[in-house]
Each structure stands twice: as C-alpha cells, then as structure tokens.
Structure 1
Amino acid sequence: MAKLRRLVRGPRTVREDRLSALSDDLILLIVSRLDTRTALSTAVLSRRWAHIPRELPVLDFKVSDILPPEYDRTIDLRERELPREMALFYGLMAWCEIRSTKAFTDGITNVLATDGIARRRVRTLRLEFFCKTDGGFVDRLIAAAVGAWGVSDLEVVVRPALSCHHDDGYAPPYLFPHDLLDDSGRSRLCSLTLGNCTLPPLHTYEALATLVLQDVAASTPVAVYERLFNDCKRLEVLHLKSCGCPEEEFEHLVVDAPGSAIRELLVEECAFSHITLHAAPMLARLACLGRTTMISFGSVPSLTHVNLTFWDSEKPYEFLRNPPAATTSLVLRFTGPTRWVLPRHLTTPFRGLKRLLVANLPSHWDVSWPRVLLFSAPLLEAMHIHVAQYSGEEPGEEIGWWDRRKLRHRHMKELVMIGFASTPRQMLLVKDALSVCRHSLRRLTLLRDGHVRYSGLWDWEMVARQPECPWRADDEIAVRRLIKSASKQLVDVILG
C-alpha cells in the first residue's frame, strides 16, 4: 500500500495527494467494485478514503472468501477417498479453518473498532463462518449492524468445521443474538437468512417479508414451521432448505393459513415426506425439490407456477391427485435413482395450464406418459419434453390410453422433444399429439441431443446440441410421413 501511495503521489517533493483529490462518487464507485475485506483495507491509502467504506450499502464477511484453494481441492480428494492418511487430511483442514477463522474475526474486530461506527450506513450484511468461531464477535457485529447501521437484509450462515466431525463431537447451532436486538431493530429487518442457527421468535420481526431457513436441526418440531405461515403476517417469500423434524411426527407439513401473505414457497431437501396445502390464498409460486413424495392441494387459488423435482429413493405418488386450477406453468423433473412416476390418469384436470416441462424422463420408461398431462390440460399451449440418455435398464410397463379420436385440443401450438430416438413409444407420443392437436399445432421440434437451460425455478429454455449420431435416413422419412399423415397445419418442423 505504501508503494502504491508513492507511485500515485509521485516524488516525495510533491505533496499533492491525488487519491484524496478524487471525488467521493468516484471513490465510492471504485470501492463498491471490491470485495468487503479489500474495500475496508483502502482506508490506508488516504485520509479521505478512510470514511468512504462506511457508505458501502453491502458488507460481506464470508470465511469461504478467505479459505485457500487447497481447502476445496482437499475436500474434493477426500470425497474420492484420497488421501488415505487421515491425520494429514484433518491436520491440513484444521490449519485452513484456524487461519481463515482468525482472519475473519480480525476483520470484524477492525470494523467494530473503527471510529464513527454509529455513522456507518449499511443495507445488507452477509456473514458466513465456521461453527467453532467465537460467537461474541458475531453477536456484537449483528447488534451494531441492525441497531446502529440500519441493516434491513441480514444473512447468517454457519459452516460445519471438519474438525467437529473428526472429533465425533456435536457442533451445536449458532445461538442467534435475538436478545441483543431491540424492538426497533427487529422491526427494521425485512429479509432474514439463517443457516444452522437457532430460530428466534420470528413473530416479533414484524416487517419480515423474506425468510430463508437452512440446515435447521432435526429436533425442530413441524409445528414451528407451520406457525411461520400464520405468525409472520407480512411474510411473502419463505424458503426452507435442508430443514429437519422429528421422525415421530410423520414428517407431515400442513399449511392452513387463510390469512397468510406468502406468495413464494420453496421446500428443498427437507424432511417433509408429505405436504398438505389446505389454505394459502396468496401463494403464487411453489417449488418442491427433493424428498417430498406426496403433495395435496386445497385452497390455493393464486398458485400459477409449480416446480416439482424428485431425486430421493422413494417413489413420488399422489403428487398430482388434485392439481390446482390456477396453475399456468408446471415443471416436473425426475432426477432420483429410481426415476419412477405413477402412470395414473388425473381425476381433476389442469384447467389453466399453458406451459409444461417434463425433464429427465428416463428412456426406459414409457415416455408417452406425458399424454396424461396433455389430455388433462385443455388450455396447454407449449409442451416440452426432455428424455434422459439411455440408461441401459429394461423397458418399463407400457401405459394404455383411450380412443384419441374422441379428443380435440384447440390451444396446443408447440411441441419440443429433446432426446428423440424414434422408439415406438416416442413415435406414439408424437402421433397422438399431432392427431389430437391437428387444428392448433404450429411448431414441432424433435432433437436428438440437447439440454434444458433453467432461468430460476419457474422458467426454462430448450437448447439444442449437435447430435453425435445424426438422423438416419429411414428414421427421418418415417417421422415426416407420420407428420404429413397426421397434420397438415404445421408451419415449422425442426428435426435436429
């Protein structure tokens, strides 16, 4: 830093401080492009630069930004059962964690010791530290940030230290300093993320609009999660990630909150095997990723976007027994080891569904199964299907269907299928879609290879790749003959 100052200021005989001559807006622009630790270090460059970091709206103190590259590389080797010398492995990990934790605590101490701390203004504070970190420093920082700095967006995530696993000791969650926050501080928080932390009485955080809970202890009763829907009156976004609950409570989450304002709900890799949405009048977006195998819908009149992704060993069943009528966009992804779906006709149709994605459909299934959804969604406009690569397993049971000549679909405009291999059941799916949507289908895309590009949880794009095995002449002739015989209204046909 001293060398940099000499280079910028020029010879010692010249006393002009060019760094101090920069405008506040330019200094703030430079500092805002740096990470938090570097931005705070610029105070040594010039007297005027010392007060600029106090104006940063976002502060990030993350131990992952301090960890050396060897840490992640060694973790990767450990997952591949290397190195075999466990003492060496844990010794290296402990050294990395101790060094990074010291740098983390030193940074917080320096911030708290800065003169004029009460004049600092911060909108967002993000903290990430190891479970063995002295919580006193973090407690003081959180209290100062929420109380004096005006932080309204707080994120506290505790990483498990590998040394805890080595000692086979229990690493308790971080005790969130709820008692250090006064009523005005609690009422100021609009967004709160807690990872591996004890849960404060969240109903006292009156302005809370976004809440993210992750790695919550398995001893947490299901009732704690259920109360969030009724107690947090202004809550609009709720994300539950890797949240546990006692096994004796049947792992059943019931949402019955007619007064809830929650519009977005994400349940990812949680212990809930069954979710029942009795009443959630404002819920518009639902994403359920992971272990949940049963979802029951009650009064969800605003639910327009649904993402259901299954990857556990259990078989998802009854997940569409009573689909919500307001749903316009549906994503179904099957990425688990069994990759199974119950071939059952829907008792209640998707009356408002317009966009549908069925992704990671195993090639050994009867891939004509999405016909169930096609014929149960009278307003469907776009149907996208992604068939996974050949798994080598035996073909599954074929799914029968009623006479398609009695069915007519008047809104279907686009059918895209990635992983098309001209198998009999795939040809049946295309034939049925062309026949039933004879007067509405305008675009048919059949691709040998490609992938789904996701934009968030509820939007996607079908992306083509140059296939390793191009179309055989007889396959292309058969498909084009099928298209010509089934529909004459197609404007665009793409075979790639």
Structure 2
Amino acid sequence: MGKGNKDDRLSALPDDILVNILDRLNVPEAARTSILSRWWSQLCAKLSRLIINALDFLPEVVSRTNISVDEVVKINAAAAKATESVLARRNLGEHTTHLLSTTFYLRGDVPIFIGHAVGHAMSIHLVENVEFSIRTGKDHVAEIEGDDELVTWAREFMLFFDACPNAFGGLTSLDLWNLRFGESGISCILTTCKQLKHLYLYNCDSGDGSTLQVEHANLSVLCIVNCCLAQVKLNWLPQLTQLAFDGWIELQDPLVLGHVPLLRFGCSQNVRWKVWHLCSDN
C-alpha cells in the first residue's frame, strides 16, 4: 500500500475468499473482525466452520493445565453465550454449516443451554457435521478423586443427554471424558446418536472390568483411552475403519470382533497407541 493510500485491499477481496480466511479462525478471533464495520459483521454470519471452545475464552495469563473451578464456570458461560450469539446471526437456509463444533464443561445448566441452541440450529439450518467435546475439568485419571466423582459426572451428562434429544440425534462426533455410566449408558447413547461417525472415550466405562458392547450403523472411528474395561465387543459396525485403544486393564484378548468388514484383522503399535486400520485391500 503506497504512502497516503488508504484503500483497504483486504476488504476488496471477494466475500468467498474472506469467509475462507475467517473459517480458519476460532469463533472469538473471527468475532473480533466484526468491529471493523457492519459489512465485516455480516461476513461472520456466513462462516461455514463454527468452532466454539470454552478454552479459547480463557485469559492468556491463565495456564490451560491448571484451571480453577471459578475459571471453568466463567469460560463455560462465555462459550454458551458465544454459541447463542453465533447461531442467532445465521440467516435461515442461506448458508451451509459444514462444521459446528463445541467444547464445554459439565457445569450447571450450560450444557443443556448449548444443547438446545445446537438442536434448534440443526432444525432450521443446513448443518453437515456437529461435534460435542464434553469435559469435566480434570483431564487426567490421576486427578480424579475416586469412583463417586465419575458416577456424579455421568449422572450430570445423562441429564444433559435426556434434555437434548434433537442435538444428540444429529451428532456426528462425540468426545467424552471421565464418566462412569450405568450398565446400559453407552449403549443408550449409541442408539440415540444415529448419525455418529466418531466416538472418543477417555476414562469412561460402566465399572472396573466391565464389558463394552458396540453396535452402530455409521460409526467409522472409535477411540478408547484409559477406560477400565475388561473387554470390548465390536458386535456390528459395518462402517468402522479405525479403532484406537490405550490403557486397558486386560492384556489378553481385549477385543471380540463381530461384523467389522472394513477393519483390517491386525494391529500396529505406535508408541503407546494400538491402532486398527481400514483394510488396504479394498
């Protein structure tokens, strides 16, 4: 830009290019551009990737590895407010949302608030992929203060789950952390989440030495980490192409393979992870 030239060359770019640039930012970063002008604010309503992570609202001076309960409450509320605000700006049926991803904590009414907002958006907008990553505030097994805490969090999750059937019914990806369900808890989730393609379980089970039985028409990726499972039975997963697991109690025959036609019958060890991949012959 020459001296004294006040032309805004960035704003002169076509809208589709600018939206593509904004799509590469998280929601707080993209939202900051709306203060530039009313036109930039309208661009934010055209985003095709909406990624709302509670951790993005954490002050820069606070470490992500040591977040207090008060801070979790604040950033969770900020994520809920951002979810409502961003979805309210969308014009009915005008733009396809390729990805709607939200990461938040099991605290108070925030999960249900977000679930209702997402479920409503899915009913009136074109949304291709919806992701929930649901945290408890303790990311490592060593931080957990006993089984009762896991059970309490699982109950909180099920209250959220039961209150938001529309959101879970269209969910394509679900990450769960530190939950101890009842015997049929995970099976109930899989039955409701009919569109689910990706499931990540960290320290989730139905009790020490329990068995996880999995049946799902669309699930293609299953990750199981530090779950106190004796066995996982893949009964019927016609679309499963990748299974990753780490930290199981039992070392012998932890897997029972049923109908998994797209999964190679062999595994490769990569540092700590054991991964089963799509059959290379297809």
Which TM class, normalised by the smaller chain length? 0.5 to 0.7
Q: Tell me which amino acid in the other structure corresponds to 1:251.
A: S
Which of 160, 163, 180 aligns to 1:218? It is 180
Distance 1:276 1:128, change over 3 A: closer
Distance 1:220 1:154, change over 3 A: farther
1:129–1:159: 8 Å Cα contact kept in structure 2? yes
Q: How does 1:73-222 map to 2 (within 5 A)?
A: 75=66, 93-114=68-89, 116=91, 119=94, 121-132=96-107, 134-135=109-110, 137-161=113-137, 170=152, 172-173=156-157, 175-176=160-161, 179=164, 181=166, 186=169, 189=170, 191-193=172-174, 195=175, 214-215=176-177, 217-221=179-183
1:19–1:45: 8 Å Cα contact kept in structure 2? no
Which residue does 2:31 correspond to in 1? 40
1:54–1:119: 8 Å Cα contact kept in structure 2? no
Please give the per-residue CA displacement for 1:294-325, whole angstroms capped at 9, x wherever unaligned.
425465573653xxxxxxxxxxxxxxxxxxxx
2:212–2:232: 8 Å Cα contact kept in structure 1? yes
Shift of residue 102, structure 1, vs aligned partner: 4.7
TM-score of the pair, normalised by structure 1: 0.42
How many percent of aligned residue pairs carry the same amino acid? Answer: 22
Shift of residue 175, structure 1, vs aligned partner: 0.5
2:76–2:105: 8 Å Cα contact kept in structure 1? yes
The answer to whether 1:24 aligns with 2:18 is no
Shift of residue 243, structure 1, vs aligned partner: 1.8
Q: Give the count of matched residue pairs.
A: 260
2:48–2:96: 8 Å Cα contact kept in structure 1? yes
Distance 1:292 1:153, change over 3 A: farther
The answer to whether 1:242 aligns with 2:203 is yes
The answer to whether 1:60 aligns with 2:41 is no
Q: Tell me which amino acid in the other structure corresponds to 2:210.
A: E
Shift of residue 31, structure 1, vs aligned partner: 1.9
Q: How does 1:408-427 map to 2 (within 5 A)?
A: none
1:127–1:156: 8 Å Cα contact kept in structure 2? yes
Shift of residue 287, structure 1, vs aligned partner: 3.1
Distance 1:181 1:282, change over 3 A: closer
Which residue does 2:247 correspond to in 1? 290
Q: Secondary structure in 2 aligned to 1:243? A: strand
Q: Which runs of 5+ in 1 are unaligned?
A: 1-6, 11-15, 76-91, 196-213, 306-326, 334-358, 361-453, 460-496
TM-score of the pair, normalised by structure 2: 0.67
Distance 1:72 1:108, change over 3 A: same
Distance 1:300 1:99 in 2: 45
Distance 1:155 1:53 in 2: 20
Q: Secondary structure in 2 aligned to 1:141? A: helix
Shift of residue 142, structure 1, vs aligned partner: 0.9
Q: Which runs of 5+ in 2 are unaligned?
A: 139-143, 278-282
2:99–2:128: 8 Å Cα contact kept in structure 1? yes
